[in-house]
Amino acid sequence: MSARRYLKVSVGPDGTVDAETIGFVGSSCLPQVGVLEDILEAVATESAFTADYYAAQGVSQQDTTEETTVAGRQN
């Protein structure tokens, strides 16, 4: 059985959106940044791998989390 994968999204009082990918292994979390940008009509302003990402390298059972901050697009 595979691990549950999901995106955790939080919106701050100033409108800043923080997002985490949960349950993604290795670099499989990377495409989710584009998904979030499309859904939120925003661009990522910061993106960082957590310690779980590096620990997951070569360990397929380890969950990976990537934290991303996005800002609304200017049209």
Two structure tokens written together for 68: 């991303």
Q: What is the pLDDT of residues 10-65, one digit of tens each?
A: 999 998 888 888 877 777 888 888 888 898 888 888 888 876 676 666 544 444 44
Residue 73 DSSP symbol: P
The full set of domain ranges for the chain reads: 6-72
Q: Can you tell me which residue has the tokens 């800002």?
A: 71
User: What is the model's pTM?
Assistant: 0.61
Res 75: pLDDT: 43
SS3 content of the chain, % helix, strand, coil (to 5): 25, 40, 30
